[in-house]
């Protein structure tokens, strides 16, 4: 019973940590974009993407390996940590030096270069902070990671507000990120000392070499995931400049924020699907229910985002980001592909087909880079949006094809009912906006209620289906 309580506690704290990080990140993004010109916001997000790429190369899976190793050998923690910590410090310093050197060969304006210096230093401290958090994860003490993240996110919001409203300069925002992450590292060291966890480090080249070899599979996965999800910002910067990056990232971050919904739903459903990996009939049933749910949720969010793109951009970013409106309209279709495509992807994990998922990510990276190189030079950020849409469509098809070959042949929903459901949302939204009220928040709530009624009227979900699914999720 105590083990079950520990699992529930750690799951709660991990979910809270992820939610707080994503939510505060969304708030900070809006604050920075609203109070900056697109070129300044583009410079800032470019510096983040650039630093993130180099950081993945420098870390190369070590962070993930730490969690696994510590979880398996808690009793040897203080023997294990010094050489890991030494390797982590070495990689962090190597990252910072490389970050500063390489940017000087890329012919960017000096303000961008200085921004990259500051962002690189902030990411170095963030990498060290992640090291401490990974130790807590390995020890199954997730509450400390949550406490530290509350501190970090609170400081970030406060310091960013000061930087934006007092100094009104994007460079001071980068300094705010640096100071907040430095404070988080210091707080982590203090907790380590109170818990009698060593903060010493050693230089042991043989052990470093073994660590690097063992971390490589995780590192390749992280690298290709970055290329799949974030390389477009760097390519836009190279071909069209950072003002275009600002427009593109302002729309992209809104789509990423919506991913909280699918991550939360699938985070709940994945343990249930994993529990049924030996029972194909039960797994098929749960797979169908997840697909049906994701179709309905994604179509609602995609339709509302597409129909209200102009209002969303102007409310969050003001009229200076109007160029982001067509980007958001295109990316709204990505919501459906990402939500629905996530279900067969999670199914592959549930039946221990992680290697297949990795190969699909590699394919996605190649497709994404190819289409971005083809479309960005000619169509700028609109080309990047279409590249993202095409890539996600192809990967969604691949995921469904792979699980189809594994005898999971359902698409989860009746297509005619789905079309009728989408039509109800579109007609309701347009009618309410044109004849009743234009307030996007109240209108969205009314459309949501209508969508729920439509689900039952069209018999997409039955009461018995909902009750059975709830009982499966609740069951230990």
224 and 91 part of one domain: yes
246 and 208 part of one domain: no
310 and 171 part of one domain: no
Cα–Cα distance between 185 and 131 in angstroms, integer? 9
Judged on CB neighbours under 10 Å (0-12, 13-18, 19+), 76 is exposed
pLDDT in the model for residue 85: 85
Report whether 177 contacts 44 (CB < 8 A): no
Q: Is residue 74 part of a domain?
A: yes
Residue 93 half-sphere exposure toward CB, CA atoms < 13 A: 5
Report whether 188 contacts 176 (CB < 8 A): no
194 and 135 part of one domain: yes
- Cα–Cα distances (Å) from 167 to 38, 112, 173, 180, 222, in that order, read 18, 18, 9, 17, 36
Among the candidates 390, 412, 434, a domain finishes at 412
Among the candidates 184, 210, 233, a domain finishes at 233
Among the candidates 412, 428, 455, a domain finishes at 412
Site of tokens 């018999």: 459
Q: Is residue 85 part of a domain?
A: yes
pLDDT in the model for residue 208: 83
Cα–Cα distance between 316 and 365 in angstroms, integer? 30
218 and 287 part of one domain: no
Domain that holds residue 350: 242-412
294 and 223 part of one domain: no
Q: Is residue 139 part of a domain?
A: yes
275 and 398 part of one domain: yes
67 and 211 part of one domain: yes
Q: Is residue 457 part of a domain?
A: no
181 and 246 part of one domain: no
284 and 322 part of one domain: yes
Instruction: Give the predicted TM-score (pTM) of the model.
Output: 0.84
205 and 300 part of one domain: no
pLDDT in the model for residue 466: 60
185 and 69 part of one domain: yes
pLDDT in the model for residue 1: 42
pLDDT in the model for residue 272: 65
Report whether 459 contacts 413 (CB < 8 A): no
- What would the 3-class secondary structure string for the chain be? CHHHHHHHHHHHHHHHHHHHHHHHHHHHHHHHHHCCCHHHHHHHHHHHHHHHHHHHHHHCCHHHHHHHHHHHCHHHHHHHHHHHHHHHHHHHHHHHHHHHHHHCCCCCCHHHHHHHHHHHHHHHHHHHHHHHHHHHHHCCCHHHHHHHHHHHHHHHHHHHHHHHHHHCCHHHHHHHHHHHHHHHHHHHHHHHHHCCCCCCCCCCHHHHHHHHHHHHHHHHHHHHHHHHHHHHHHHHHHHHCHHHHHHHHHHHHHHHHHHHHHHHHHHHHHHHHHHCCCCHHHHHHHHHHHHHHHHHHHHHHHHHHHHCHHHHHHHHHCHHHHHHHHHHHHHHHHHHHHHHHHHHHHHHHHCCCHHHHHHHHHHHHHHHHHHHHHHHHHHHHHHHHHHHHHHHHHHHHHHHHHHHHCCCCCCCCCHHHHHHHHHHHHHHHHHHHHHCCCCHHHHHHHHHHHHHHHHHHCCCCCHHHHHHHHHHHHCC
Q: Is residue 119 part of a domain?
A: yes
Cα–Cα distance between 315 and 460 in angstroms, integer? 34
Q: Is residue 365 part of a domain?
A: yes
- Cα–Cα distances (Å) from 440 to 98, 437, 452, in that order, read 46, 8, 18
Q: Is residue 458 part of a domain?
A: no
The domain total for the chain is: 2
Mean pLDDT per 10-residue section of the chain, whose length is 476 residues: 55 72 85 91 91 78 76 76 85 88 89 93 89 82 86 93 90 94 93 83 83 78 76 92 94 87 69 67 80 90 95 92 95 93 82 80 91 95 95 93 85 84 93 83 90 86 62 55
What torsion do the CA atoms of 225, 228, 229, 234 make, to the nearest 10 degrees? 110
pLDDT in the model for residue 65: 77
Q: How far apart are the first and last CA of the chain?
A: 11
Structure tokens at 30: 């809006």
Q: Is residue 447 part of a domain?
A: no
């Amino acid at each position: 019973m105590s083990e079950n309580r520990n699992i529930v506690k750690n799951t709660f704290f991990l979910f809270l940590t992820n939610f707080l990080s994503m939510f505060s990140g969304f708030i900070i993004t809006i604050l920075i974009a609203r109070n900056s010109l697109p070129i300044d916001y583009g410079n800032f997000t470019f510096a983040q993407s650039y630093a993130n790429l180099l950081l993945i190369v420098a870390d190369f899976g070590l962070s993930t390996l730490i969690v696994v190793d510590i979880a398996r050998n808690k009793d040897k923690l203080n023997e294990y940590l010094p050489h890991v910590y030494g390797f982590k410090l070495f990689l962090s310093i190597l990252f910072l030096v490389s970050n500063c050197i390489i940017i000087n060969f890329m012919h960017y304006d000096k303000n961008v270069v200085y921004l990259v210096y500051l962002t690189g230093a902030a990411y170095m401290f963030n990498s060290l902070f992640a090291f401490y958090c990974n130790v807590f994860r390995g020890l199954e003490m997730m509450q400390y990671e949550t406490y530290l993240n509350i501190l970090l996110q609170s400081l970030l919001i406060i310091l960013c507000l000061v930087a934006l409203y007092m100094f009104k300069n994007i460079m001071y925002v980068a300094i705010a990120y640096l100071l907040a992450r430095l404070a988080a590292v210091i707080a982590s060291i203090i907790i380590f000392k109170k818990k009698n966890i060593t903060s010493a480090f050693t230089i042991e080249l043989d052990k470093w070499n073994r660590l690097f070899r063992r971390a490589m599979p995780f590192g390749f996965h992280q690298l290709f995931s970055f290329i799949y999800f974030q390389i477009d910002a760097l390519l836009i910067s190279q071909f069209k400049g950072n003002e275009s990056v600002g427009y593109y990232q302002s729309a992209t971050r809104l789509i990423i924020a919506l991913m909280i919904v699918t991550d939360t739903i699938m985070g709940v459903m994945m343990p249930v699907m994993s529990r049924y990996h030996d029972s194909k009939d039960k797994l098929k049933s749960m797979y169908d229910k997840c697909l049906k749910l994701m179709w309905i949720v994604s179509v609602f969010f995609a339709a509302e985002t597409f129909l209200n793109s102009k209002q969303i951009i102007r409310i969050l970013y003001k009229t200076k980001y109007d160029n982001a409106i067509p980007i958001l309209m295109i990316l709204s279709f990505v919501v459906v592909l990402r939500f629905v495509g996530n279900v067969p992807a999670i199914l592959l994990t549930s039946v221990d087909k992680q290697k297949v998922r990795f190969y699909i990510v590699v394919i996605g990276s190649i497709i994404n880079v190819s289409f971005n190189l083809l479309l960005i030079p000619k169509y700028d950020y609109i080309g990047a949006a279409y590249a993202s849409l095409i890539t996600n469509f192809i990967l969604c098809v691949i995921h469904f094809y792979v699980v189809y070959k594994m005898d999971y042949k359902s698409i989860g929903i009746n297509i005619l009912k789905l079309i009728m459901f989408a039509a109800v949302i579109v007609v309701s939204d347009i009618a309410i906006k044109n004849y009743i009220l234009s307030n996007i928040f109240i209108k969205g709530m009314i459309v949501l209620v209508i969508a729920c009624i439509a689900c039952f009227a069209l018999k997409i979900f039955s009461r018995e289906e909902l009750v059975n699914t709830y009982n499966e999720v609740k069951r230990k």
